[in-house]
């Protein structure tokens, strides 16, 4: 594989809603470029990009895939991304190294939730965008309807470059507004012809609007146009490319990935108007508290960033790297600026689906794969020795749904944690937590499918089968009034017996006060060496649970008095006495159950705000406020019991058609209403 300079590289991400045809379009582009003999099919798992067994099983992409091809002397690093909301973290990762987004929209289904999400992400990252209206050969397909939706949702900068020739089953070509000619397709071949008569009037009108929109971006061209000099297609294309790079124009092209109509023209446009890496803003890196810009220059110092990690059961860890500056060659030694470990790049590879090809050199702007970087994870920066700079990693999707997992075989605990750690390296959207209060290991992700895929990968890659269960809410108990009780532990056996008596007074502390122990014993009623045993007994009894079976918190225990025996007393007897005294005191201390409360922020389109407010109220939430945001969205802030948020990721997606987003963090504990206590109480330990 030859080395390409930045000016001849195009990093392009296909984004959009699930089912819009991104993977099919990737196959069509690869076949059109001669990389594969014919396009594979998502339905039978024969595509290049959906190579994972979990993708083949579900007929959908679950991870970003790289599929490079060439157009003339230009290398296009195509990034096929998932369209399912659970895997939006993969979209973020791919977009962090892309220089153009191709937003794929179904001509049947139009603009959908993940279309909007991808567009918003592109705007957030300042990425140029191009729209490909796909599936124009399908029944109920409408280019005009979709174009109107695009312009309504995303503004006047959305401008058609092509019009379809024919509709639905009769769709056979495109009218290219730049060249003022049509390209018609028949049985795998294409021909350039004059604009069909039935389309001529519309094409002429739309082309005039397009030309006027393009020349506005170039004062000299505008002046010539006003003087009656119509720009050539080459001049229009060059000016359009500048407008695309600046994010002022968002061209709309059309076709059918399944039949190949318009795919060759899309490939040409990617080479002609997509910005090269060296035409994009330079990468910003940190060096301590200072920041600096790094130009995409092959002559610079070698600098690279890992944007994705793949865990292969045979090869091991494969790091997908973007070269930010300089050149990488096999056996280059760079320093991981996070771990400070040297990393030798033994091999450079070009990844295409599951296939690899060795690369002799990768220049600034290119994407390559590097296997077996032992101390490097997603987001890490690789730099020369003595250059401690760090590039900002792509933000990850916060996990919003949790399940409790345990290994099916008791001997697999270590294998489970090793597998989860490896999968976290591969997928930063995953999180693993151990909750000691409930004795559960939680696997957190972005949705049900995300978690199901993770469990399948645990089995396939690491041979670990897991069982899942509902997540237990970490309720607690506390007291609301003082109480006093005596705990007596007396046990006689054949030899020395056990004897200890402790009188304990308990008092409530303010919320979050934890535990305090006060020794007020006088006169040696309990010998000094046994006082810590009383405290330990009280603490262990609190941890084992109060009357409802939950750990007791926010309590002061005062040891007032006691009795001992010079022969039969021991640390064990006074620990038991302390525990018995606490349990007895709790029965008189008006114990209440505390539930965790989450601070929740929900972002939804303004038209759905009423539905979300009603739903939060039904979950016992206390709405704190609503704030308007850009793009016709509102942010709702509320305090909601954590128990009511367990399935909120699933419910919100259903309520909003996938257009809602939320984040929830623990805020505080509050008293659980008395009418709900019996529903949550556990069996009290003996």
**375 and 322 part of one domain:** yes
**73 and 205 part of one domain:** yes
**579 and 607 part of one domain:** no
Q: What angle separates helix 233-245 from helix 263-273, to the nearest 10 degrees? A: 70
For residue 206, being part of any structural domain is answered with yes
**444 and 318 part of one domain:** no
For residue 216, being part of any structural domain is answered with yes
Q: Lowest-confidence range among 26-40, 129-143, 480-494, 516-530?
A: 480-494
For residue 20, being part of any structural domain is answered with yes
**454 and 484 part of one domain:** no
pLDDT at 164: 96
DSSP conformation class of 309: E
Contact 274, 242 (CB under 8 A): no
% of the chain beyond a pLDDT of 90: 80
Confidence grade of residue 397 (pLDDT, cut at 50, 70, 90):
confident
pLDDT at 325: 96
% of the chain beyond a pLDDT of 70: 99
**465 and 365 part of one domain:** no
pLDDT at 1: 65
**271 and 288 part of one domain:** no
**Cα–Cα distance, 441 to 412 (Å, whole number):** 14
State pLDDT tens for residues 271-291: 999 999 999 999 999 988 889
Nearest to 9 by CA among 78, 90, 58: 78
Q: Does 63 score more than 80 pLDDT? A: yes
Residues near 293 by Cβ (< 8 Å), separated by ≥ 6? 282, 283, 284, 285
pLDDT at 685: 43
**68 and 157 part of one domain:** yes
- Is the pTM for the entire model greater than 0.85? yes
Q: Does 408 score more than 50 pLDDT? A: yes
pLDDT at 631: 78
**Average pLDDT over every residue of 245-251:** 92
For residue 275, being part of any structural domain is answered with yes
b/e for 382-410, b at 16 or more Cβ within 10 A?
bbeeeeebbbebbebbebbbbbbbbbeee
Q: Does 621 score more than 90 pLDDT? A: yes
pLDDT at 283: 92
In angstroms, the Cα distances linking 94 to 65, 80, 309, 380 are 9, 8, 12, 15
In angstroms, the Cα distances linking 421 to 77, 361, 428 are 29, 31, 10
Torsion angle, CA of 456/460/462/463, rounded to 10 degrees? Answer: 90
**Cα–Cα distance, 665 to 444 (Å, whole number):** 13
Range of the domain at 558: 477-589
Q: Does 413 score more than 60 pLDDT? A: yes
* CATH code, domain carrying 452: 3.30.70.870
Comparing 684 with 394, which gets the higher pLDDT?
A: 394
pLDDT at 684: 47
* Backbone φ, ψ for residue 153 (5° rounding): -80, -35
**Terminal alpha carbon distance of the chain:** 70
The half-sphere exposure of 477 on its side-chain side, counting CA atoms within 13 A, is 27
Q: Which of 573, 589, 605 is the last residue of a domain?
A: 589
**258 and 274 part of one domain:** yes
For residue 380, being part of any structural domain is answered with yes
Q: Does 35 score more than 70 pLDDT? A: yes
Confidence grade of residue 535 (pLDDT, cut at 50, 70, 90):
very high
β pairing state of 622-629 and 483-491: unpaired
State pLDDT tens for residues 586-604: 999 999 999 999 999 999 9
Average pLDDT taken over every residue of the chain = 93
- Dig out the tokens for 72 from the structure: 């003339």
Confidence grade of residue 496 (pLDDT, cut at 50, 70, 90):
confident
With 0-12 CB in 10 A as exposed, 13-18 as middle and 19+ as buried, what is 180?
A: middle
* CATH code, domain carrying 602: 3.30.70.240
Q: Which of 259, 279, 299 is the last residue of a domain?
A: 279
**65 and 197 part of one domain:** yes
Q: What share of the chain is helix, strand, coil (3-state, %, to 5)?
A: 30, 35, 35
How many domains is the chain partitioned into structurally?
5
Comparing 15 with 187, which gets the higher pLDDT?
A: 15
For residue 568, being part of any structural domain is answered with yes
pLDDT at 208: 87
Cα–chain center distance at 307: 13
State pLDDT tens for residues 219-233: 778 888 777 777 888
pLDDT at 494: 62
If you write DSSP's letter for every residue of 380-435 in order, what string do you get? -EEE-TT---EEPPPPPPPP-EEEEEEESSGGGHHHHHHHHHHHHHH-TT-EEEEE
Contact 317, 309 (CB under 8 A): yes
State pLDDT tens for residues 137-154: 999 999 999 999 999 999
DSSP conformation class of 673: P
**377 and 457 part of one domain:** no
State pLDDT tens for residues 96-116: 999 999 999 999 999 999 999
**85 and 203 part of one domain:** yes
**Average pLDDT over every residue of 355-371:** 95
Location of structure tokens 């139009």: 110
For residue 334, being part of any structural domain is answered with yes
In angstroms, the Cα distances linking 236 to 146, 252, 478, 483, 645 are 25, 15, 73, 85, 53
Q: Which of 469, 488, 510 is the last residue of a domain?
A: 469
For residue 1, being part of any structural domain is answered with no
pLDDT at 495: 66
């Amino acid at each position: 594989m030859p080395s390409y300079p930045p000016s001849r590289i195009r990093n392009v991400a296909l984004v959009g809603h699930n089912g819009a045809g991104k993977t099919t379009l990737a196959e069509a582009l690869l076949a059109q470029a001669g990389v594969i003999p014919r396009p594979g099919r998502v339905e039978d798992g024969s595509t290049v990009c959906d190579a994972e067994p979990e993708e083949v099983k579900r007929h959908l992409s679950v991870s970003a895939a790289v599929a490079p091809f060439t157009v003339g002397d230009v290398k296009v690093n195509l990034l096929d991304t998932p369209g399912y909301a659970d895997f939006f973290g993969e979209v973020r990762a791919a977009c962090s190294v892309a220089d153009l987004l191709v937003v794929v929209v179904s001509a049947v289904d139009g603009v959908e939730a993940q279309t909007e999400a991808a567009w918003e992400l592109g705007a957030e990252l300042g990425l140029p965008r191009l729209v490909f209206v796909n599936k124009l050969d399908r029944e109920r397909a409408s280019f005009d309807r979709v174009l109107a939706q695009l312009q309504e949702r995303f503004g006047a900068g959305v401008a058609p470059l092509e019009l379809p020739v024919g509709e639905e089953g009769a769709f056979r070509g495109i009218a290219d507004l730049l060249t003022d000619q049509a390209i018609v397709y028949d049985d795998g071949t294409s021909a350039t012809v004059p604009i069909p008569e039935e389309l001529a009037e519309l094409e002429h009108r739309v082309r005039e609007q397009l030309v006027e929109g393009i020349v506005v971006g170039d004062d000299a061209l505008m002046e010539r146009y006003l003087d009656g000099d119509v720009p050539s297609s080459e001049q229009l294309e060059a000016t359009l490319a500048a407008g695309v790079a600046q994010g002022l124009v968002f061209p709309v092209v059309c076709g059918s990935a399944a039949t190949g109509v318009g795919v060759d023209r899309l490939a040409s446009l990617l080479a002609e108007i997509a910005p090269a890496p060296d035409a994009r803003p330079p990468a910003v890196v940190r060096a301590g508290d200072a920041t600096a810009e790094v130009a995409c220059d092959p002559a610079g110092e070698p600098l690279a960033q890992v944007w994705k990690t793949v865990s292969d059961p045979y090869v091991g860890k494969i790091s997908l790297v973007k070269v930010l500056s300089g050149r990488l060659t096999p056996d280059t030694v760079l320093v991981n600026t996070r771990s400070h470990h040297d990393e030798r790049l033994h091999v450079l590879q070009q990844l295409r689906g599951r296939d690899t090809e060795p690369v002799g050199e990768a220049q600034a702007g290119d994407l390559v794969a590097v296997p077996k970087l032992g101390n490097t994870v997603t987001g890490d920066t690789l730099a020369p020795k003595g250059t401690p700079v760090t590039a900002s990693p792509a933000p990850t999707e916060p996990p919003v749904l949790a399940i409790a997992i345990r290994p099916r075989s008791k001997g697999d605990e270590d294998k489970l944690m090793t597998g989860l750690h490896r999968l976290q390296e591969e997928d930063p959207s995953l999180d693993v937590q151990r909750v000691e209060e409930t004795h559960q290991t939680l696997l957190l992700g972005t949705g049900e499918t995300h978690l199901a895929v993770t469990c399948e990968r645990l089995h396939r890659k690491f041979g670990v089968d897991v069982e899942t269960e509902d997540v237990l809410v970490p309720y607690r108990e506390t007291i609301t009034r003082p109480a006093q009780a005596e705990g007596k532990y007396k046990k006689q056996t054949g030899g020395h017996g056990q004897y200890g008596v402790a009188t304990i007074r308990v008092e409530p502390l303010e919320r979050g006060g934890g535990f305090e122990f006060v020794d007020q014993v006088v006169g040696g009623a309990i010998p000094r060496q046994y006082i810590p045993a009383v405290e330990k007994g009280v603490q262990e009894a609190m941890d084992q649970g109060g009357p409802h079976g939950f750990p007791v918190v926010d309590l002061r225990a005062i040891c007032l008095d006691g009795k001992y025996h010079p022969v039969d007393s021991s640390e064990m007897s006074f620990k038991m006495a302390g525990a018995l005294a606490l349990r007895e005191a709790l029965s008189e201390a008006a114990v209440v159950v505390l539930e965790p409360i989450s601070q929740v922020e929900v972002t939804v389109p303004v038209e759905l705000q009423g539905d979300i407010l009603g739903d939060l109220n039904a979950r016992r939430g206390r709405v704190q406020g609503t704030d308007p945001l850009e793009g016709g969205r509102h942010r709702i802030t509320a305090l909601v019991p954590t128990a009511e948020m367990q399935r909120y990721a699933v419910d919100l997606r259903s309520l909003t058609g996938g257009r809602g987003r939320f984040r929830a963090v623990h805020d505080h504990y509050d008293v659980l209403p008395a009418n709900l206590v019996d529903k949550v109480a556990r069996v009290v330990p003996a």
